[in-house]
Structure 1
Amino acid sequence: MTEHRPWARLEVVKGEAEAVAVAGDGVEVAGGALRIFRDDEGVVFVKAASKGVKVRGKEVGEEMTALVDDGDRIKVTGTAWEDGPVEYVVELVESDDGDDDSEHGFVTADYDMGKVLGTGNFATVRLGVCRKTGRKVAIKVCDKAKFARVQHRVGALLDEVSILRALQHPHILQLYDSYETEDHLYLVLELVSGGDLFDRIVDAGKLSEATARRVLRQVLEAVAYMHDEGVVHRDIKPENILLASRKGVETKVSDFGISRMLSVENGTTMGTMCGTPQYIAPEIVARTAYDAKVDMWSLGVLLYVMLSGDYPFVDNAPLTIPEQIQRGLYSEGAKDLCRRLMQHDPAIRWSAPQALTHPWIRGAELVETPFPDADPPASASDDESGDKRRGAPRHKAVVSVMISRAIAALDDRKGSTATAIAKYIAANYDAPPTRAELKRALAAATKAGRITHSGSRYKLGG
């Protein structure tokens, strides 16, 4: 018989009962009143067999499930167990600290909220589990006040909900539910565990053509669908393309915060200046009316970034876009598709259905490699600071994204120091920038207003 090392203990703090060591697939507790177990990713759950089981002071509900974290208290009342009330405290061998969810009110009646998965300018994403079904989800908690300071229109948050409800596609992140309070908007979303495409490109240096083609094909299918439904994303970039898992290549287009639903009533063109500078189409920059073709330009930039590991617009480079495509990409098929997507004139820029017919997208001559394998990186080299690392030099716009993510994750009200930012990036990216690259990117991001600088500390720009 195989012996399993306990991964949790339930110590008795009130009542008459024995302490419980939890190992293997979990155990039943308090005469079967509840079962404590964990999934393959180490997330711990309690499932109540009857009423009278409380976690963190909240009733779990008969045949319902709740998340459990280190230090949580589980109370079993006499109605659930004949031997009388008993209260346990959970001690996990390995655990992640969760945040207090008391402020989230009625949302926790349907979903138990666990650890923080990520943070941004105005939102925090937390692990959740549906109390009725036990399905794990991601709960995006949007702070309305912070959003208004960034986007200047709280109604845009509700637009995102309406758009996500209208879209059902295997390569678009699914919205299961939403809740609204005076201060917050909660989006209950499909949970994915593979991170985003930006991190994968940075870690790999660049992607192989076979992998980039597979990613682009899936995103094109999603964009063709959303355009057919009248939705323009307006912020397609690697950071907004999620991976369903760390193995394989299944993508999910996410973050519809600045998307727009076009119709005869709402209009078929737009004029708002928005998007991420490295990915926005020329007609947006020119502040002229534009349509869904702006997403196609962004997809052209995405293709270039995946295959080259850099942006097609290098500072002070006296090259036209076709010249940069010729220089930065390898195969003629990829070059041809990229040129068709990055046409200055949107009238001749290819649509998503057209792009899906391109020979490079349909071709099978390349042997697909497991994601995130990439073409061999350049050999390590020294820069003026004496640092050495793997891969090609990082463009400061790429490093700027890393910096913004680091500041958001560190979440220091006083601001983050350059040292703290550098340590975070080094811990989260396989090929971090050199000190000189980080210094240049901090200066550029400050000048552009993406971050602010006071003394030795940096904060996200408003």
Structure 2
Amino acid sequence: MTGDATDGASCGKMRQQNNDSSVEISINSHSQIATQPFDDTGDEVATQSFQQKIWGQLYPHSGTFPRIELVGDSFKLGRAQSNDYVVQKTDMVNEKLFLAISKTQCEVFRNSDGVFLKDYSSNGTWLNGEKIGKNMVRPLDHDSEICFAGANKKVFVFRSMDAQKEVFPEELTKNYLVSKELGKGACGIVRLGFRTKDLHRVAIKIINKKQTKTAHTSSAAIMNEVNILRKVKHPCIINLEDVIDTKDYMYIVLELAEGGELFEKIIQKHKFNEKEAKLHFYQLASAIQYLHASNICHRDLKPENVLLCSIDDSKPVIKVTDMGLSKLVNLGNELKTFCGTPNYLAPEIIVMTARGGTYDYKVDCWSLGVILYILLSGTPPFTDERQCDKKLREQILTANFIFYPQLFNSVSKEAKDLITKLLKVRPEERLSADEILEHPWLQDQAMRTEAHALMKEQEVKSQADEREALRPLNPAVIQAIPMVNPSVTGQLKRMHVSAENSCQTPDKRLKTSENGDREN
């Protein structure tokens, strides 16, 4: 599992081979527009021989992996130098995941029957969440997701050039490539997207305006979410990156949280230990405190609406999302709308539907109490599945919940005290977001230091992404081109790198094994 030694580069390398020679090209992790190599002899035949049809592309979903254009009939990836692409530690983000990569991890190949993915790794290669198995082969379809080192470590999305092209408006496609579906909601479909100039990954929420006119979700509610997201800026709240509004569709471009839902993580782990729960909950409470200070009530807090930035459990950063039901409360406004998810509803919302009345920000604090109970136990405090004589509605209205010994014996009294003070029927007795952060359970200085460091790191990353979004498109790239003629190798004296409105040449390396020459 140690694999071959790598050369210490910060990104992987592409290698093209034939019987007599090879060309090895180190490539930038954000390869874009293809340019062709040329020689000094003026021999056009050499250049033309390289111009072969690209039949597929691997779009990066992790670390410093580049966009890989598939031209030959076979392409291998792994840690060994003999592969077409040599995986580096920065591609996999951390050393633990990198060490799970085999000398030869997998092979993408095509024949007359189609395109396939072969797994060579003992540790596994996953296709659309399913492990392939060593020396086994699976068909590779358009927009398929490839994972290394685990079912959740997404590394590439395969894009077939022969797939039927979907039509999107130019306002969207001039800046983004739209890829696979990530999920569906009441408001529309969410698709994976890539910002074309640097392959920055995003989530694109696609909303059909005509459908929203007949559905429960109105255009006004959609614009409410957009306006809320435009107003907020917090490292633990999903970032709005762009909005593209056309006649029939609205495209909301959001920060992509690659770790999935907190709900899925709870299912995977069954429950969090207290240290893990505290770190996650502190970030969540910090985000809600920020929203309330900005006069915003979320109104639909639940683990499904809390995302994780990455699959790296050692550095968890949460993101509050789905602001569709959030309300910007101006001075004098009252909250009267019945909304939210039943198991997380505060008592005053249920009472309001029967007797009228209003509620305030404290409904979010009740939901935080429910979420904390679930984090520590793996089960909800209020559910129709409980073995008691009260239905869900009555359980909530009376705050009827139990700290079951088999689930809470190892949980501290401070954690249970915080849950109890959040699940108070009377809002005036319930802790506010400010008071939550001052509770004794969250005064763990080591945890707070770690949480603030994670949030600061996320804030710096978001700022860098925003600067990159504003940077003019100025790509300087190299296309990895297969060797088709041994005589061509010696003619490759340099690579021509084209960058519109630029005279700078990026740091690229070309190695030719035929004569040992190397030019920078």
What range is the shorter-chain TM-score in? 0.5 to 0.7
Shift of 1:176: 1.2
Query: 1:25, 1:38 within 8 Å by CA — same for their partners in 2?
Result: no
Is 1:44 matched with 2:44?
no
Q: Distance in 2 between the 1:147 and 1:232 partners?
A: 23
| Equivalent AA in structure 1 for residue 431 of structure 2 | W
Shift of 1:110: 2.1
Residue in structure 1 matched with residue 283 of structure 2 by the alignment: 218
Q: Distance in 2 between the 1:196 and 1:189 partners?
A: 15
Shift of 1:361: 1.4
Is 1:129 matched with 2:194?
yes
Q: Distance in 1 between the 2:143 and 2:365 partners?
A: 51
Residue in structure 1 matched with residue 222 of structure 2 by the alignment: 157
| Equivalent AA in structure 2 for residue 350 of structure 1 | L
Shift of 1:149: 4.5
Q: Quick one: structure 1 residues 45 and 250, their matched pair in 2 at CA, closer, same or farther if it must change by over 3 Å?
A: same
Residue in structure 2 matched with residue 349 of structure 1 by the alignment: 430
Q: Which residue, 36, 44, 59 being the options, matches 1:30?
A: 36
Is 1:193 matched with 2:258?
yes
Cα deviation per residue 1:342-383 (whole Å; 9 max; x = unaligned)? Answer: 1111111111110001111123699x99xxxxxxxxxxxxxx
| Equivalent AA in structure 1 for residue 259 of structure 2 | G
Query: 2:13, 2:27 within 8 Å by CA — same for their partners in 1?
Result: no
Q: Distance in 1 between the 2:6 and 2:373 partners?
A: 52
| Equivalent AA in structure 1 for residue 351 of structure 2 | A
Q: Quick one: structure 1 residues 152 and 200, their matched pair in 2 at CA, closer, same or farther if it must change by over 3 Å?
A: closer
Shift of 1:112: 2.4
Residue in structure 2 matched with residue 207 of structure 1 by the alignment: 272
Residue in structure 1 matched with residue 152 of structure 2 by the alignment: none
Q: Which has the higher contact order (CA 8 A, sep 6+)?
A: 2
| Equivalent AA in structure 1 for residue 322 of structure 2 | D
Shift of 1:332: 1.0
Q: Distance in 1 between the 2:197 and 2:289 partners?
A: 35
Q: Which residue, 153, 156, 170 being the options, matches 2:235?
A: 170
Q: Distance in 1 between the 2:109 and 2:244 partners?
A: 27
Say which SS state the counterpart of residue 324 (structure 2) adopts.
coil
Residue in structure 2 matched with residue 324 of structure 1 by the alignment: 402
Q: Quick one: structure 1 residues 70 and 281, their matched pair in 2 at CA, closer, same or farther if it must change by over 3 Å?
A: farther
Is 1:359 matched with 2:430?
no
Say which SS state the counterpart of residue 174 (structure 2) adopts.
helix
Shift of 1:268: 3.4
Residue in structure 2 matched with residue 96 of structure 1 by the alignment: 158
Q: Distance in 2 between the 1:168 and 1:278 partners?
A: 29
Q: Which residue, 242, 258, 261 being the options, matches 2:328?
A: 261
Say which SS state the counterpart of residue 169 (structure 1) adopts.
coil
Query: 2:381, 2:401 within 8 Å by CA — same for their partners in 1?
Result: no
Query: 1:196, 1:240 within 8 Å by CA — same for their partners in 2?
Result: yes
Quick check: which has more Rg, 1 or 2? 2
Shift of 1:255: 0.6
Residue in structure 2 matched with residue 285 of structure 1 by the alignment: 350
Cα deviation per residue 1:141-182 (whole Å; 9 max; x = unaligned)? Answer: 122344444434221000100000000001001001101123
Q: Distance in 1 between the 2:418 and 2:372 partners?
A: 9
Residue in structure 2 matched with residue 306 of structure 1 by the alignment: 375
Query: 1:8, 1:91 within 8 Å by CA — same for their partners in 2?
Result: no
Q: Equivalent pairs: percent with the same residue?
A: 34
Q: Quick one: structure 1 residues 335 and 268, their matched pair in 2 at CA, closer, same or farther if it must change by over 3 Å?
A: farther
Shift of 1:207: 0.8
Say which SS state the counterpart of residue 282 (structure 2) adopts.
helix
Q: Distance in 1 between the 2:247 and 2:441 partners?
A: 49
Cα deviation per residue 1:175-232 (whole Å; 9 max; x = unaligned)? Answer: 0110112322111111221111000001111111111111110011111111111111
Residue in structure 2 matched with residue 80 of structure 1 by the alignment: none
Query: 1:123, 1:141 within 8 Å by CA — same for their partners in 2?
Result: yes
- The two structures have a TM-score, normalised by structure 1, of 0.60
Say which SS state the counterpart of residue 340 (structure 1) adopts.
helix
| Equivalent AA in structure 1 for residue 193 of structure 2 | G
CA RMSD of aligned residues (A): 4.0
Q: Distance in 2 between the 1:117 and 1:228 partners?
A: 32
Q: Distance in 2 between the 1:107 and 1:22 partners?
A: 35
Q: Distance in 1 between the 2:441 and 2:290 partners?
A: 20
Q: Quick one: structure 1 residues 128 and 38, their matched pair in 2 at CA, closer, same or farther if it must change by over 3 Å?
A: closer
Q: Which residue, 353, 361, 364 being the options, matches 1:295?
A: 364
Cα deviation per residue 1:220-278 (whole Å; 9 max; x = unaligned)? Answer: 111111111111100111011111110121001011011110012xx432111110111
Say which SS state the counterpart of residue 102 (structure 1) adopts.
coil
Residue in structure 1 matched with residue 337 of structure 2 by the alignment: 272
Q: Distance in 2 between the 1:111 and 1:138 partners?
A: 11
Question: Which segment drifts farther, 236-245 or 123-132?
Answer: 123-132
* 4+ aligned runs moved over 6 Å, structure 1: 1-9, 20-24, 32-37, 90-94
Q: Distance in 1 between the 2:284 and 2:245 partners?
A: 30
Shift of 1:313: 1.4
Shift of 1:135: 2.7
Query: 1:241, 1:253 within 8 Å by CA — same for their partners in 2?
Result: yes
Q: Quick one: structure 1 residues 128 and 349, their matched pair in 2 at CA, closer, same or farther if it must change by over 3 Å?
A: same
Say which SS state the counterpart of residue 344 (structure 2) adopts.
coil
Residue in structure 1 matched with residue 317 of structure 2 by the alignment: 250
Runs (5+) with no aligned partner, structure 1: 10-19, 47-68, 72-89, 370-462
Q: Distance in 2 between the 1:5 and 1:177 partners?
A: 33
Query: 1:325, 1:338 within 8 Å by CA — same for their partners in 2?
Result: no
Query: 2:273, 2:376 within 8 Å by CA — same for their partners in 1?
Result: yes
Runs (5+) with no aligned partner, structure 2: 39-46, 70-107, 111-141, 147-155, 390-394, 451-520
Say which SS state the counterpart of residue 158 (structure 2) adopts.
coil
Is 1:112 matched with 2:177?
yes
- The two structures have a TM-score, normalised by structure 2, of 0.54
Q: Distance in 2 between the 1:187 and 1:8 partners?
A: 40
Is 1:240 matched with 2:305?
yes
Shift of 1:96: 3.3
Q: Which residue, 406, 412, 416 being the options, matches 1:335?
A: 416
Say which SS state the counterpart of residue 118 (structure 1) adopts.
strand
